[in-house]
Chains A and B, each alone.
Chain A
């Protein structure tokens, strides 16, 4: 494929007309281990079950859901940090699932990641300038003449003074550390940035600065974001399109406006109605959909629609037939046998 040779330069043009990232039928099963020393396999945890979506160049797809819905696993499987059980991840025309180490190393220049914890993701004994420069060194792109200039440029870009390049992570605040992580991720000029809960460890006033920075960087660099988060307000603010996950499946996907204004899936409606709005008059007059029961265990998910055990609309068919994620007349794809547009926020 000519794609491979072209993409070895970081300035390579878009190699195909298709989407930047194409995830198809992604499945991730883990063996469930027994406690104790033998760790026998006693079942299968269905973390991700047939997830499909696309991301176009320069856009932000928000992936939301609650703990255990598989959103982080999906992100990691896309980055090939874990090996998917089955399915396909095509990035700029190249299949990543099953690709060898050398091919993945090339791809990783164009696909970077930012994790939640700005304390755990920086080496405490490395000056921050070195941390930011590390991807250049790993990919043999570091040159004496250009390297320091690039680091200074990146630091300025994320709102940090380049003269602090010799300081250590412990001298920076949480928000600043997250900026350092962003500078490190962007120094290779990636086409896609996977952000896994990048602002949830930060206080709100600091979070706002990082959110604004992410918006500005996308405008300037044209990088696409896969924004994984549980905070539905932040996801709405940053995303062009949103996918809602429940127990390893996408239940609804569409533009931000469609999903938040005209949610069709009962779970999306319950999720959105549960988010408190910082406006006392509005918040007190809202009706909240309070879900009954707990999230079923992913090692024994319900048959058919996985939400049916907590759904107020569930019928017999919901337990028999898994609803596909398709357009059902509501304007955007939804995985529900009985979709109904209901305004909740």
Chain B
């Protein structure tokens, strides 16, 4: 098997708060292989963004981080700011949700791309200009030559996100982390930006970690998918494994709860009762147990580890799930596990 580009091992992140430590990430292990798109799905507070920020070394000072993040043979966790800067942009780059806050409003976009190029490369003025134009054209900005001197406010939301992608690609990093890159955009604009992103990946051969809550975006782009819940990866496998053979009840619930544009709308949506747990303090058992229709006694006592649920020969990727009853869950048809009735649905208020 090929060596992973990026390996996250037992990453734990907690934040001190008045009510106790908030455990945002609780032992996440992930590997990113060359030429793959790893989709990370999960709802608000599942720890997917914090994981990405920890990898980039961008978390606030009150974050306590343990574990390891390996990139191209180097350990990133614990590195000083100056040492980290060598990797950022060069080997790994990040794309955020809101292009307006990731661009500097007082500099034109050409300047901002050149800044990224200058950080790691030694180019002449002419080379810088040519490279900037090439990057803008690569992400599909029309009339790039005449738009380099425009400011971010002169671009539409979709065009701004393309500029952000161009900046991320400036030094041809092997790994890109994209955190909800199209969530703020309208659906036709999202299609344009995803198109640009696909084009960029094909051209550069970079690998992508795509963090999103949109299962449709994941279905179109991801080769492997990790599902996160309550600060952990609860299921990981090929896109087909996750979408067609889910082995964790939470994944079943997610898939059953989304309406589809190609569905005539006769059926009912499946709903997951209750709400995600508070991340303060540790409770025994599986964090999904209070909402799980397959819960048995052991689920409230022992938190299940990620384990192999199926091995189709030796063919990677592995399909892992953190569930005591993973094999039974995998045998169930999607949509059969959760209720569609709004009558028996009563969430306890969160204290």
Binds A, one of B7-15, B173-181, B214-222: B214-222
- Contact (Cβ within 8 A) A280 B243: yes
Cα distance A291–B259 when bound, in Å?
Answer: 24
Question: Is the pair A208, B270 in contact by a Cβ cutoff of 8 Å?
Answer: yes
* Chain A residues, CB < 8 A from B268: 212, 215
Given A176-B349, A208-B257, A288-B195, A274:B190 Cβ within 8 A: yes
Kindly state whether residue B86 has any CB partner on chain A within 8 Å. Answer: no
Complex Cα distance, B258 from A283, in Å, reads 15
**B188 at interface (Cβ–Cβ under 8 A)?**
yes
Q: Number of contact residues on B: which range applies?
A: 35 or more
- Chain B residue numbers with a CB within 8 Å of A288 are 191, 195
CB distance from B77 to the nearest CB of A (A): 30
**B254:A291 contact, CB within 8 angstroms:** no
Scoring A215, A237, A282, A288 by chain B CB atoms within 10 A of each residue's CB, the highest score goes to A237
Residue A188, interface by CB 8 Å = no
**Does B187 make an interface contact (CB < 8 A)?**
yes
C-alpha gap A257/B213 in the complex (Å): 27
Q: Given that A276-B214, A290-B192 are contacting pairs, would A212 and B269 also be in contact in the complex, using a CB cutoff of 8 Å?
A: yes
Q: Indicate if A206 sits at the interface (CB-CB under 8 A).
A: yes
Residue B21, interface by CB 8 Å: no
**Interface pair B349/A203, CB less than 8 Å apart:** no
Which single residue of chain A is at the shortest CB-CB distance from B339? Answer: A212
Kindly list chain A residues whose C-beta atoms are within 8 Å of the C-beta of B217: 276
Contacts of B186 in A (CB 8 A): 66-67, 230
**Could you give, for residues 257-286 of chain B, a 1 whenever the CB lies within 8 Å of some chain A CB and a 0 otherwise?**
111111111001111110100000000000
**Does B240 lie within 8 Å of A211, measured CB to CB?**
no
Q: Which of B257, B262, B263, B341 has the most CB of A within 10 A?
A: B262
Residues of B within 8 Å of A260, CB to CB, are 261, 264
A291 to B192, CA, bound (A): 7
- Which of A37-45, A92-100, A157-165 makes up part of the contact surface? A157-165
Is residue B346 contacting chain A, with contact meaning CB distance below 8 A?
Answer: yes
Q: Does B315 contact A (CB under 8 A)?
A: no
Distance, CA A283 to CA B223, complexed state (A): 13
Known contacts A172-B349, A208-B257, A211-B269; A277 and B340 CB within 8 A of each other: no
Q: In the bound complex, do residue A278 and residue B271 qualify as a contact, i.e. CB atoms below 8 Å apart? A: no
Is the beta-carbon distance between A280 and B239 smaller than 8 angstroms?
yes
B219 in contact with A277 (CB, 8 Å):
yes
Inter-subunit contact A160/B261 (CB<8 Å): no
A126 at the interface (CB under 8 A from B): no
Q: Which of B330-351 touch A at CB < 8 Å?
A: 340-343, 345-347, 349-351
Report B-chain residues with C-beta under 8 Å of the C-beta of A273.
Answer: 191
Q: How far is the CA of A232 from the CA of B214 in the complex (A)?
A: 13
- A239 partner residues in chain B, CB cutoff 8 A: 265
B188:A206 contact, CB within 8 angstroms: no
B187 touches A171 (CB 8 A): no
Does A125 sit at the interface, judged by CB under 8 A? no
Whether B158 sits at the interface, judged by CB under 8 Å, is yes
Tally A residues with Cβ within 8 Å of B: 58
- B321 adjacent to chain A (CB < 8 Å): no
Partner of A282, one of B262, B269, B343, B351: B262
CB of B255 within 8 A of CB of A205, answer: no
Judging by beta carbons under 8 Å apart, are B261 and A272 in contact?
A: yes
Chain A: CB-nearest residue to B340: A212
By the criterion CB–CB under 8 Å, are A278 and B219 in contact?
A: yes
Do residues A283 and B350 form an inter-chain contact, with CB atoms below 8 A?
Answer: no
- For A65, the closest partner residue in chain B by CB is B186
- Tell me if B43 counts as interface (CB < 8 A to partner A): yes
Most buried by B among A206, A208, A212: A208
In the complex, which residues of chain A have a beta carbon less than 8 angstroms from the beta carbon of B253?
205
Contact B259 A237 (CB under 8 A): yes
Most buried by A among B43, B214, B271: B271
Beyond A175-B275, A237-B269, A280-B239, whether A274 also contacts B350 by CB under 8 A is: no
Cβ 8 A contact of B342, one of A209, A277, A291 = A209
- A289-318 to B contact mask, C-beta < 8 Å, 1/0: 111011100000000000000000000000
Q: With A159-B346, A276-B219, A283-B216 known to touch, is A212 a contact of B341 (CB < 8 Å)?
A: yes
- Verify B195–A171 contact, CB threshold 8 A: no
Report if A256 contacts B (CB, 8 A). Answer: yes
Q: In the complex, which residues 220-261 of chain B have their Cβ closer than 8 Å to any Cβ of chain A?
A: 220, 222, 239-240, 243, 253-261
Are the CB atoms of A233 and B264 closer together than 8 Å? no
- Most chain A C-beta atoms within 10 Å of own C-beta, residue among B43, B188, B268, B341: B188
Measured CB to CB, the nearest residue on chain A to B189 is A66
**Contact B269–A208 (Cβ < 8 Å):** yes
Name the A residues within 8 Å of B214 (CB-CB): 276
State which of A205, A207, A281, A294 has its C-beta within 8 Å of the C-beta of B156: A294
Q: Which residue of A159, A207, A237, A289 contacts B263 across the interface (Cβ within 8 Å)?
A: A237
A238 interface contact, C-beta 8 A:
yes
A276 → chain B closest CB, angstroms: 3
Nearest CB in chain A: distance from B37 CB, A: 11
B220 pairs with A283, CB closer than 8 A: yes
Contact B158 A294 (CB under 8 A): yes
Give chain A residues whose Cβ lies under 8 Å from the Cβ of B343: 159, 216
Residue of B nearest to A179 (CB): B347
Q: How far is the CB of A163 from chain B (nearest CB, A)?
A: 10
A345 on the B face (CB < 8 A): yes
Q: Within the assembled complex, what's the spacing in Å between the Cα atoms of A293 and B189?
A: 9
Binding site for B on A (CB under 8 A): 66-67, 159-161, 164, 167, 171-173, 175-176, 203-209, 211-213, 215-216, 230, 232-234, 236-239, 256-257, 260, 270-284, 288-291, 293-295, 345
A-B contacts, 24 listed (Cβ < 8 Å): A66-B187, A173-B275, A175-B275, A176-B349, A203-B213, A204-B254, A208-B257, A209-B273, A212-B268, A213-B345, A215-B342, A216-B343, A232-B261, A237-B263, A260-B261, A270-B188, A272-B261, A276-B216, A277-B219, A278-B219, A279-B260, A280-B219, A290-B192, A294-B158
